[in-house]
C-alpha cells in the first residue's frame, strides 16, 4: 500500500466557459466536481496505474462529506481521512475554451484544532507499518504547525518508510530539515528555497539542505534529478499544448510507483515525465491520457547530466 497525505484536501470544481472575460456574466458549458488536494490527485493516478493507495488527511463539513462520497467511486483507493469540525475547502478552476487558459480560486481550508492534529498524527503512525512509501503533499491548513511536515518526515523515516515531500513556502523550508528521502519542487519553489534560479545549482543546494534526492519539475522542459546515484535530465519529445493542472501530481505518482517497484532512476524519471506530459494532453484537468502515456514511455529521453557536463 502507498500512503498519501493531504492535510488540506479540497473538493475540486471546474467550470468551462466559451470565453472568460473579467467583470462579465458567463454561461457555463460544463461542470466537473471531484475530490482533490495534491495527495488525493497523486492517489488517483497511482490507483490508475494499478497500485493500492490509502488517503489520509482532514475532511469536514458538507464539502468534506461530498469529497468522501466521491472517493468511494475511485477503485483501489482507501479513505482514512480524519474528521474535523471545520469545512473542507473548495477549489474552483475556470477554463477558457477559446484560449485554453485556466484561472484558479483556492480557499484556505478549515482551521485545525490541536486535538484534531493529535488525532491525525495517531492515524498516520498507525498506517505507516502497512505502507511501502508515503507522499506528503500540498499546503498546510490553518492551525497546523508550520513544522508539521518535518515531524511527519521524521516519523516515516523512523518507521523505515521512504517518504516524498511536495509542498512550498515555509512548509517546504521547514520540511526539508526533516531529511525526506525525496523532495519534488518545481522551479519557483526551488528558487524560493535556495535563492538560485539555475536549476542544477538549486537542485544540488536543496539536496545539501537535507533531502536525500531532489527531483525538480522544469515545466515543459521535463525533470531534473540529483540523487546519491547520479544526476539525470528527463525531457519529453516535443513541446506540449494543453492544461498543465495536475501534471506535477502525476509526476509524483510516477516517481512513487517506480520507487516501490524498485525501478532504476532513469526508468523512474521516464515514467514520471510520461505521466506528467500525458496529463497536460488530457481533456480533463488532473487526469492523464492513457494512450499518450504509453507513447511517451518510448519517446521520453533521459540524459546523464554528469556525462553531458
Residue found under cell 475530490: 35
d(CA 287, CA 44): 8
3 state DSSP class of 149: helix
Rounded CA-CA distance 59/64 in Å is 5
What's the rounded Cα separation, in Å, for the pair 195 and 198?
9
Q: Is 97 part of the annotated catalytic residue set?
A: no
The residue from 12, 181, 249, 289 that is catalytic is 249
Which residue(s) pair with 235 in the sheet? 301
Distance CA 184, CA 255 (A): 9
Please identify which residue in the block is written with the cell numbers 518545481. 186
How is the chain split among helix, strand and coil, in percent rounded to 5? 40, 25, 35
Strand partners, 243: none
The Cα-based distances of 122 to 87, 147, 155, 224, 289 in angstroms read 21, 17, 11, 35, 37
Q: How far apart are CA 203 and CA 207, in angstroms?
A: 6
Query: Which segments of 78-168 does DSSP mark as H helices, in order?
Result: 114-127, 148-158
- Range list of H helices, the chain: 38-48, 61-71, 114-127, 148-158, 169-175, 187-194, 199-208, 247-260, 265-280, 290-296, 305-308
Q: Rounded to whole angstroms, how far apart are CA atoms 79 and 210?
A: 31
Active site (catalytic) residues: 249
Amino acid at each position: 500500500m502507498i500512503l498519501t497525505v493531504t492535510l488540506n484536501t479540497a473538493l475540486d470544481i471546474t467550470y468551462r466557459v466559451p470565453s472568460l472575460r473579467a467583470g462579465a456574466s458567463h454561461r457555463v458549458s460544463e461542470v466537473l466536481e471531484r475530490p482533490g488536494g495534491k495527495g488525493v490527485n497523486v492517489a488517483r493516478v497511482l490507483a490508475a496505474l494499478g497500485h493500492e493507495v490509502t488517503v489520509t488527511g482532514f475532511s469536514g463539513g458538507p464539502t468534506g462529506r461530498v469529497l468522501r462520497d466521491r472517493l468511494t467511486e475511485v477503485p483501489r483507493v482507501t479513505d482514512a481521512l480524519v474528521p474535523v469540525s471545520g469545512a473542507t475547502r473548495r477549489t474552483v478552476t475556470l477554463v477558457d475554451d477559446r484560449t485554453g487558459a485556466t484561472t484558479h480560486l483556492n480557499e484556505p481550508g478549515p482551521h485545525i484544532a490541536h486535538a484534531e492534529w493529535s488525532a491525525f498524527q495517531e492515524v498516520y503512525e498507525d498506517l505507516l507499518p502497512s505502507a511501502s512509501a508515503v507522499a506528503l503533499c500540498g499546503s498546510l491548513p490553518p492551525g497546523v504547525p508550520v513544522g508539521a511536515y518535518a515531524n511527519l518526515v521524521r516519523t516515516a523515516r523512523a518507521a523505515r518508510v521512504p517518504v516524498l515531500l511536495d509542498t512550498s513556502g515555509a512548509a517546504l523550508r521547514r520540511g526539508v530539515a526533516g531529511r525526506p528521502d525525496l523532495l519534488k519542487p518545481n522551479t519557483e519553489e526551488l528558487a524560493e528555497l535556495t535563492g538560485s534560479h539555475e536549476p542544477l545549482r538549486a537542485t544540488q543546494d536543496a539536496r545539501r539542505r537535507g533531502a536525500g534526492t531532489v527531483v525538480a519539475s522544469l515545466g515543459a522542459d521535463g525533470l531534473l534529478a540529483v540523487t546519491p546515484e547520479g544526476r539525470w535530465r528527463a525531457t519529453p519529445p516535443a513541446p506540449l499544448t494543453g492544461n498543465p493542472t495536475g501534471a506535477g501530481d502525476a509526476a509524483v505518482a510516477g516517481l512513487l510507483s517506480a520507487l516501490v517497484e524498485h525501478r532504476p532512476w532513469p526508468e523512474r524519471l521516464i515514467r514520471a515525465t510520461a505521466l506528467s506530459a500525458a496529463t497536460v494532453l488530457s481533456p480533463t484537468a488532473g487526469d492523464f491520457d492513457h494512450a499518450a502515456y504509453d507513447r511517451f514511455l518510448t519517446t521520453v529521453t533521459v540524459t546523464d547530466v554528469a556525462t553531458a557536463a
